[in-house]
Structure 1
Amino acid sequence: MSTPTADHAEPTKGRISRRNLLYGGLFVGGAAVGAAGAVTAGAAVKPVGPASSDTEPFYGRHQGGIVTDTQQHTVIAAFDLNTDKRDHVMEVLRRWSELAAQLARGDSATIPIYDPPDAVSAYANTTGKATTSDSLDTWQTGPNRLTVTIGFGRTLFLRNGIDRFGLRSRLPEQLVELPHFPGDQLAAEQSDGDLLLHACGDDLQVVFHAIRSI
């Protein structure tokens, strides 16, 4: 996927944009490096919003953020996996889910860094190994209807013809490679992604903190 920008230009009527397709897209799921972008909802947001103490449950019939009423802010991050071990992917997703559930409640959380002994450079960070402590950037801010949705990219199922994790048979037929869109200026090194995080909420700091923590 491409990293979205925070502009608010309306797409030409009758034409579909990459951003509109992303907003209407399907999240099919629940040791990575990635890039993130932030988008703030414009006129669609009501002037008077919910209280900062309002929570959206992380667990339920759908992932939080799928059928949730629109929040004011979103930050999206895409990650490429640097492992070929299915167990590593399962453990990362388990830890992401546990942490996301805590963040959605507005709890302070310990960051569960996953650094398996049988992986090389499993932890990717520009500053090396970061602290596992909560940064407290959102201390006593409240959950602000935070939702964290975990999505799967097509390359999680099949990349360059290789079924890395034995998931090829589970590839949804709707998860196709997107065609070129008018105006695209995509950088290959910042496009696509095996895993996708989509955090939304009514406070931008809370939303960014969630992505940063994960």
Structure 2
Amino acid sequence: MSSLPSSEDKPATTSPGPAPSGMSRRKLFGAAGVTAAVVGAAGAGALAGRASAAGAVTGGLDKPVPFRGEHQAGIVTPAQDRMHFATFDVTTESRADLVAMLKEWTGMAERMTAGQEAVHDGAVGLNPYAPPADTGEALGLTPSQLTLTIGFGPSLFLKDGKDRFGLAGQKPQLLEDLPKFPNETMDPARCGGDIVVQACANDPQVAVHAIRNLARVGFGTVAVRYSQLGFGRTSSTTREQSTPRNLFGFKDGTANIKAEDTDTLNQQVWVAKGDGPDWMTGGSYMISRRIRMRIESWDRTTLLEQERVIGRQKGSGAPNGLKQEFEELNFDIVDNKNEPLIDRYAHVRLASQQHLNGIQILRRGYNFTDGSDGFGHLDAGLFFIAFVRNPATQFIPMQMELARRDLLNEYITHTGSAIFAIPPGLRDGDYWGSTLLG
């Protein structure tokens, strides 16, 4: 494992890399006199609360996160409040074009995470006779702790039996499409992808801007397969963060792995040398699942039943039968009928490391709402994201157990799914994918 300091642990200062343009978003905004634009495709939901998020300048919520380090940022970085998740299909069959795009994306990502314009072309994009080099909606905004995390799907290595880029021999054995689980109704348009980019920030417009500009520059080499906007993180990734709530109103991710748990991260999240191909050492595997919640049915369910289904108290977050949120689950506490207070099929019991023989995952999901389904029901739920060292021995057994027996299944269904190999962080001079593509 590299001895480089992790991008997750460094102080929030601008990281080294390609020479910046010297003009911050705010300076460029003043020089150009440009009014920040709202991305129409993002919709009102994407930008709801943008002003309050942008105004959160205390506690470093507006500061940059270092782009380079041992691990990619956006994994154990303190989970930001907003997300724009996008997957791409590679439309070229030229390896050289793919590498060129990834190099360009890397420079853009480093600039945007530092709070600068996406592309610097010597004229800062102000040529009136050419499209702007930056789309402009983040001009004047702070870095907002933007992180950009990239990964590669199974289809980049081998698609329909074809090795498009000479990468089949570098495909990790663990990088396989997830099996079909019970209680899922998959939309193929929301599954898979050759490349993923996860943009997280405390201002939704900053996250949307990042994905928009990468997609714009990638045109002709990649095409967006699907994307998902998320708000309200559903897990904490550091001990300083309070536990958030999901759209069912329950605290979510109480037992999540935290950035401070370095031994657990090494055991459960980071790929070690010898786990697979060398290019993955220091990386991880990302699993994404779009989980639709049956909001209306849940809202008609009694509090007592809701707490039985989850296994925690709705107000405090404490396990049933206990008083404090962070008390360890106790499966031996029973009621006056000798029934366990944490039901045998409660969600927290089935997902716990105690039940799963020590299996843990690093969760980093977000709430979502995508309007209604045409029948008066909210299309809303959890966009689940997890990082693991070994999908076959961690996520798959956990999800199989939940899919078969979880009481929560009455109120949810999985509609999208993907898995990606997440390369390690970047050293000086590296580009996204350089450990794989050379």
TM-score normalised by length of structure 2: 0.33
Shift of 1:131: 3.1
* Equivalent runs, 1:100-111 vs 2, <5 Å: 100-110=109-119
Amino acid in structure 2 at the alignment position of 1:186? M
Residues 131-173 of structure 1: CA deviation (Å, up to 9, x unaligned): 3421221222100110011110110011111111111111112
Q: Is the 8 A contact 1:111 1:213 kept in 2?
A: no
- Give the partner amino acid of 2:81: Q
The DSSP-based 3-state class of the residue aligned with 1:50 is helix
Q: Deviations over 1:79-114 (max 9, x none)?
A: 1111111111111111111101000001023288xx
Task: Indicate the residue corresponding to 2:193 in structure 1.
Answer: 193
For 1:111 and 1:164, locate their aligned partners in 2 and report how far apart those are by CA, in whole Å.
31
Do the aligned partners of residues 111 and 210 (structure 1) sit closer, same or farther apart at CA in structure 2, a change above 3 Å counting? farther
Determine whether 1:149 maps to 2:149. yes
What letter corresponds to residue 100 of structure 2 in structure 1?
E
Q: Distance in 2 between matches of 1:132 and 1:139?
A: 12
Identity between Structure 1 and Structure 2 (%): 37
CA distance in 1, matches of 2:82, 2:170: 32
| Higher alpha-carbon Rg | 2
**Unpaired runs of 5+ in structure 1?**
1-35, 41-46, 113-129
Indicate the RMSD between aligned Cα atoms, in angstroms: 2.8
Q: CA separation in 2, counterparts of 1:161 and 1:88?
A: 21
TM-score, with structure 1 as normaliser: 0.65
Asked if 2 retains the 8 angstrom alpha-carbon contact of 1:110 and 1:132, the reply is no
Structure 2 counterpart of 1:160: 160
**Distance in 2 of aligned mates of 1:208 and 1:160:** 32
Question: For the residues of structure 1 that align with 2:164 and 2:132, how far apart are their CA atoms?
Answer: 29
In structure 1, the partner of 2:421 is: none
State the partner residue of 1:75.
84
Matching residue of 1:205:
205
Number of matched pairs:
156
In 2, Cα distance between equivalents of 1:59 and 1:207: 18
1:175-190 map, 5 Å:
175-190=175-190
Q: How is 1:30-179 mapped onto 2 (pairs within 5 angstroms)?
A: 50-110=59-119, 131-179=131-179
Runs (4 or more) in structure 1 with deviation over 6 Å come to none
Letter in 2 for 1:164: R
C-alpha distance in 2 between matches for 1:132 and 1:197: 23
Question: CA 1:39–1:153 in 2, change beyond 3 Å: closer, same or farther?
Answer: farther
| Structure 2 alignment gaps of length 5 or more | 1-41, 48-55, 122-129, 215-438
Are 1:52 and 1:142, in contact at CA under 8 Å, matched by a contact in 2? no
